[in-house]
Structure 1
Amino acid sequence: MQESLLTIVSAKLSAPEIFSQAYKEMKHNHPELTRMNIVVCVDELLVSYFLTDELKETNIDDNSTIVPINRNNSRLVPRIIASEINNEHTGELSMTLYERGHRGRFIYPVVIAGEIKGYIFINSSEPQYFSGVNHDNFEVYCDQLSRVILNTCYQRAQITTALNIMLSMGRERDPETNEHLLRMAQYTNVIARKLAKKNNISDDFIYQMTAYAPMHDIGKFKVEDNILFSTKSFTDEERKLMNHHVNYGLDIVNKIRFLFCNEMKSEYCVLSNIICSHHERFDGKGYPNKLKGKNIPLESRIVAIADVFDALLSKRKYKSAWSLSEVKKYMIDNSGLMFDPDCVSALIECIDELSQIHTNLIDPVDVC
C-alpha cells in the first residue's frame, strides 16, 4: 500500500488528482474508510478538497467548527489526533459526522515553514479504526500527502512572485491602483462562491480565479503612454493599440510558462484565460476572439463583470463614480449582452457585500 501510494504522489498530476487517486487507493486497502477531507490555508482562505462530500469553500474564521487555522498557528503544537466520534459530542461538525455514519477520525496537521497551514481529516465506519498499526500506517500516508501540499504551495509561490514583480513594474506607469487589484481578487472570490452553490465549482478553481484575477490587465504596462493615460475618446487606431494589451499580457505569461510544470497546467489555463478573454462579451461582440456565451471560459466571465463593476463604482480623474443603484441597473440591462446572466444574478445577490469591499479598499485620493 505505501509503495503504491508513493507512486501516486510522485506522479505528474495536479494536487486534487493526486488526492483523489490516493483516497481510492487507501479505500481499496481499507474499506472501513468513509471520508477524506484536506483543508489548506491559502492566502487567508480555507481551500477544501472533499473527496466524498460536496465541495465547499469557507472564509477563515477563528471560531471555525472544523479546526482553528488562523494567524496564531505559530503558537499551536502540531499533533496527530485519532479518536472516536459518538453521539455524546456536542459540536456541530461532530454531530453531523456522526449522523452520516462516521465513527472514527484521524486528524493530521499540515506544517509549512513551522506553522500549521492545514489538516488532513480521514474518517472511518469503525470507532477505534485508527489505533495500533493503522495509526502508524495512516501517519505515513498523511506525511506523503502533506508533501504534495507543500510542493503545490511552493510552486504557486514561485508563480505569484514572478507575476507580482511584473505587476509592480506595471504599476509604476499604470493608473490602476493596488487597491483595484485587491478588490478584483475579492470580487472574483465572492461571485465565484455564489455561483458555486448552483454549479460544480471546486475550491481549488475558486482559489485559482481569486489568485489570478488581479493579473487580468498585466499587459497594459507595455501600451504607449499617450494611449494608456489618455482621457479622450480613442480613435479606431488607438483603440486597436489599446486592445492589444491582451496580447502583451499573454506574451508576459508565456515568458514564465516554464514555472507551470505539468501538475500546474490547469493554473496556466486559468491565468491565460483571464488575461485573454475578460474583454469578451456574452453576445459575441467583444475582443480579441469574439467568443460568445458559454464558449467564454467561466473565469473570464466572472472577471469581466467584476472589472466593469469596479470601473463603474470607482471615481477617476476623467469620470465620476456611479451610484450603486446605477451600477445595478447597468448590470441588469447588459445581462445576456455584455455579461453572463448567471454572473449578473450572482453579482446582484451579493452586491451589498461587493460594495462593502469597494468601501474597505477605496482608492488613494490622488487617483480619484
Structure 2
Amino acid sequence: MSTNKPTVLIVDDESINISILMSFLKTDYRIIAAKNGHQALDRLTDAIPPDIILLDVVMPEMDGYEVCKKIKDNPVTQHIPVIFISSKNNHIDETNGFEMGAADYITKPISPPIVLSRIKTHLNLARVRQLLVSQNHLLEETIKQRTKELTQTQDITILALATLAETRDNETGNHIRRTQNYVKALAIELAKNPKHNEFLTPENIDLLFKSAPLHDIGKVGIPDNILLKPGKLSTDEFHIMKDHASLGNEALSKAEQLLGNGNISFLRFAREIASGHHEKWDGSGYPKGLSGEEIPFSARLMAVADVYDALISKRVYKPAFTHSKAVSIIIEGSGKHFDPEIVNAFLKIEKQFVDIAKCFSDGDQV
C-alpha cells in the first residue's frame, strides 16, 4: 500500500463499523484502526501519524469527546482534523463535539459519498492551514534576516560616522566607548523608575548606546586650527567651536530627510544627542538655550556622561581630575547644568562609571 496516500485513523469499538468505513476508504487512503480511546492515542505516536481521524463518540472507558479533547490539548496532535461519526444525532451532541475541537460531525447511518467528501474537504483545509503556517514561518525568517541586515547597516553607518569624527579630534576613541557605556548604565538605572518605562525600553537603550558615539559628529565642520589647537581656546575660538552642536544637528537632520522617515530612532537619538548634549538644565547652555525637560532626555544623559569623562581625562589645558573631584563637580551642577534626576542615578551607580573608565582607560585617567 502506497505510503503517499493520506492516512486515516478510524476509532470505533465495533469492528463492523471499522470494516464498513475501510471498504470504501481503502482505495484512496492508508487506513489504521483503533478499537478504543487508549489505542487511538497510542496510534498517534506512530512513525507515520494520521492525517485525519474518524472518531466514534460512544466507546467504553473513554468516550470520543474525551479522546478528542486529549488530541486537541496536545500541541503535537492538535492540528489533526477530527470528524465525529456517531449514532448520537441530537444537536447537543453535535455541539459538544465541536466544543471539543472537532472539525465535523457525521451521524449514522453513514453515506459513503458524504464521508468521502467531508474527508477530502478537511484534508484540503488542513493542507491550506499548513501552507499558511509554512508561509508565515518563511515570512518571519525573511523579516528577521531583513531586520538583521538593516541593523548591521545601521551599526556600520554609526561606526563610520563616529570614526570620521574621531580622526579629526584630539579626543580618543576610548572617549567614545566610555561615554556610550556611561549613557547605557544611566539609562538602565533610570529604567527602574516606572516614569521612564515607556521610553527606556531595552530596544531604546540599545539605540541610545549605539547613537551616543555620534555626539560630536559636528566637529568635522570645525576648522583644524581651532579643533586641533594644542591649548585652551580663546573666547572667539570657543564661540566657533560651539557651532559643532548645530552642525551635528544639521548633518543628522539631513540624513533623516534623505531616508524619508523622521522617526528612524537611531538617527533621531543621534541628532538629539549631537544637538543637545551642551544644553544646560537652567537654560544657560548652547546652541538653543533650552532648559529643563525641553532638552531631549537622550541629550541630558549624554551631558552627564560627557562632562564626567572630560573631568577625569587629561587635557592640554587641565590635568585629569580624580573620580571624587568629578563627582563633587557633577553634584554641584545638579539643577544647574544637569537634570537632577539623572545626577541621582549617577550617584547610585558611580562605581560602574569607575569600572567603565578603567575598562576603556587611555592611561591618563585618575
TM-score range, shorter chain: 0.5 to 0.7
- 1:260·1:268 contact (CA, 8 Å) conserved in 2? no
More divergent stretch after superposition (246-255 vs 191-200): 246-255
Partner of 2:174: 179
The whole-number CA distance in structure 2 between the counterparts of 1:341 and 1:252 is: 30
**Identity over the aligned pairs, expressed in percent?**
29
The whole-number CA distance in structure 1 between the counterparts of 2:240 and 2:73 is: 66
Partner of 2:154: 159
**Counterpart of 2:287 in 1: which secondary structure?**
coil
- 2:273·2:299 contact (CA, 8 Å) conserved in 1? yes
- 1:173·1:221 contact (CA, 8 Å) conserved in 2? yes
Instruction: Give the direction of change, closer, same or farther, for the CA distance of 1:341–1:149 in structure 2 (3 Å limit).
Output: farther
1:193 aligns with 2:193: no
Q: Which runs of 4+ in 1 moved over 6 A?
A: none
Deviation at 1:238, TM superposition (A): 1.5
Instruction: Give the direction of change, closer, same or farther, for the CA distance of 1:206–1:138 in structure 2 (3 Å limit).
Output: farther
- 2:232·2:316 contact (CA, 8 Å) conserved in 1? no
Instruction: Give the direction of change, closer, same or farther, for the CA distance of 1:289–1:264 in structure 2 (3 Å limit).
Output: closer
Listed as ranges, the matches of 1:293-304 within 5 Å are 293-304=292-303
Deviation at 1:190, TM superposition (A): 0.6
Deviation at 1:226, TM superposition (A): 2.0
Partner of 2:228: 229
Instruction: Give the direction of change, closer, same or farther, for the CA distance of 1:153–1:225 in structure 2 (3 Å limit).
Output: same
Q: What one-letter code is carried by the residue in structure 2 that aligns with 1:311? A: A
The whole-number CA distance in structure 2 between the counterparts of 1:127 and 1:242 is: 68
The whole-number CA distance in structure 2 between the counterparts of 1:269 and 1:130 is: 46
Higher strand content, 1 or 2: 1
More divergent stretch after superposition (293-302 vs 310-319): 310-319
Instruction: Give the direction of change, closer, same or farther, for the CA distance of 1:146–1:281 in structure 2 (3 Å limit).
Output: farther
Q: Which of the numbers 70, 75, 79 marks the counterpart of 1:133? A: 79
The whole-number CA distance in structure 2 between the counterparts of 1:345 and 1:213 is: 21
- 1:335·1:341 contact (CA, 8 Å) conserved in 2? yes
Deviation at 1:331, TM superposition (A): 1.3
Higher-Rg structure is: 2
Partner of 1:270: 269
Partner of 2:116: none
Normalising by the residue count of structure 2, what TM-score does the alignment of the two structures yield? 0.60
Q: What one-letter code is carried by the residue in structure 1 that aligns with 2:180? A: A
CA RMSD of aligned residues (A): 2.8
The whole-number CA distance in structure 1 between the counterparts of 2:76 and 2:285 is: 56
Q: What one-letter code is carried by the residue in structure 1 that aligns with 2:227? A: L
The whole-number CA distance in structure 1 between the counterparts of 2:134 and 2:312 is: 51
Deviation at 1:267, TM superposition (A): 2.8
Deviation at 1:350, TM superposition (A): 0.6
Query: In the TM superposition, what whole-angstrom CA distance separates every residue of 1:87-133 from its partner, at most 9, and x where no partner exists?
Result: xxxxxxxxxxxxxxxxxxxxxxxxxxxxxxxxxxxxxxx97457543
Instruction: Give the direction of change, closer, same or farther, for the CA distance of 1:260–1:203 in structure 2 (3 Å limit).
Output: farther
Unaligned runs of 5+ in 1: 1-125
Deviation at 1:219, TM superposition (A): 1.2
- 2:227·2:241 contact (CA, 8 Å) conserved in 1? yes
The whole-number CA distance in structure 2 between the counterparts of 1:264 and 1:157 is: 18
Count of matched residue pairs: 242
Q: Which of the numbers 164, 167, 174 marks the counterpart of 1:169? A: 164
The whole-number CA distance in structure 1 between the counterparts of 2:134 and 2:258 is: 31
Listed as ranges, the matches of 1:1-368 within 5 Å are 128-129=74-75, 132-133=78-79, 141=136, 143-198=138-193, 199-200=196-197, 201-257=200-256, 260=259, 262=261, 265-363=264-362
Deviation at 1:166, TM superposition (A): 3.0
More divergent stretch after superposition (274-283 vs 240-249): 240-249
Normalising by the residue count of structure 1, what TM-score does the alignment of the two structures yield? 0.59
Deviation at 1:261, TM superposition (A): 5.4
- 1:260·1:267 contact (CA, 8 Å) conserved in 2? no
The whole-number CA distance in structure 2 between the counterparts of 1:263 and 1:247 is: 18
Instruction: Give the direction of change, closer, same or farther, for the CA distance of 1:221–1:143 in structure 2 (3 Å limit).
Output: same
Higher helix content, 1 or 2: 2
